Amino acid sequence: MSLKQAEILGVNVNSLTMVQAVEKVQQFIDERKNALVATANAEMLMRATQDEELKHILNNADLVVPDGAGTVWAANYLGVEMPERVAGYDLAQELMREAPGRGDRIYFFGSAPGVAESAREKAMELYPGIKIVGTRNGFFSEADEPEIIAEIKAARPDILLAALGVPKQEKWLYKYRQALQVPVAIGVGGTLDVMAGVMQRAPLWMQKAKLEWLFRGLKQPSRAGRLLALPKFVMKVMASKK
């Protein structure tokens, strides 16, 4: 399955639907590919304009999905049809929904102590028969990394969901992708926090109105400065159009 790409501020983002994204990830699993999947919202794309390492990682990822209304808008504005938003949270849920039938094994890595375990309980409740083969919180030092890699390898997951925040999760997964030997690794930001109930997701009407970014800002005043990334992103994309 060949996918179109939109170049947004120097980062190539795949144009695809949620169904296609799930199919692509499952293809990576079946091929045992050691694939890196990134979920690119406006904030990540803006960060990549200042962070060359992150930009390099995104442009060498196996799949970059449009996580956010801003990304979809930018692609369409730049002349590449982007059919829909593929949010990282929703992609993770779709993969978990299909995992029991396929026998896919999943590992939760990241967030504060206890969160990954709570998210596992929620996953087992939502998706009967799912195999969550390991959990590990995101609080660690460089000295802990060999042990973490060994734990993940020993668990033999097909999908590693890493919730370490941007850009730490992308950089960590890219650095250790060969050592981990996991068919698919995905940076999923706050997904485990939402599943565990420690962070609330925007109501469906706000998601449909493309206002999820505003909801996060209102819920987490500490993020208020980061909300400015969206108007800056729009201006930068408009300026980049040739």
% of residues, the chain, pLDDT over 90: 82
Specify the pLDDT at position 210.
Answer: 57
Judge if the upstream peptide bond of residue 167 is cis by omega within 30 degrees of 0.
yes
% of residues, the chain, pLDDT over 70: 87
Q: How confident is the model at residue 230 (pLDDT cuts 50, 70, 90)?
A: confident
The DSSP H or E segment spanning 126 is helix 115-126
Domains in the chain, please, with CATH? 32-196 (3.40.50)
* CA distances for 119 relative to 137, 207, 219, angstroms: 11, 22, 20
> Per-residue pLDDT for 222 more than 90?
no
Q: Are 69 and 210 in contact (CB under 8 A)?
A: yes
Average pLDDT of the chain?
92
Strand partners, 151: none
- Interatomic CA distance for residues 239 and 235, integer angstroms: 6
- Tokens standing for residue 34: 């050691």
Q: Which residues are CB-contacts of 5 (< 8 A; sequence separation ≥ 6)? A: 12, 13, 14, 15, 80
**pLDDT tens profile 130-165:** 999 999 999 999 999 999 999 999 999 999 999 999
The DSSP H or E segment spanning 160 is strand 159-163
**pLDDT tens profile 54-109:** 999 999 999 999 998 899 999 999 999 999 999 999 999 999 999 999 999 999 99
**pLDDT tens profile 105-124:** 999 999 999 999 999 999 99
> Per-residue pLDDT for 175 more than 90?
yes
* CA distances for 131 relative to 39, 159, 205, angstroms: 23, 11, 32
Q: Which of 40-44, 62-66, 125-129 has the lowest mean pLDDT?
A: 40-44
- Tokens standing for residue 202: 């925007």
Q: How confident is the model at residue 207 (pLDDT cuts 50, 70, 90)?
A: low
Whole-model pTM: value is 0.90
Check residue 200 and report its DSSP letter: P
| Intra-chain end-to-end CA distance of the chain, in Å | 29
Cα angle 45, 49, 51; round to 5: 100
The DSSP H or E segment spanning 119 is helix 115-126
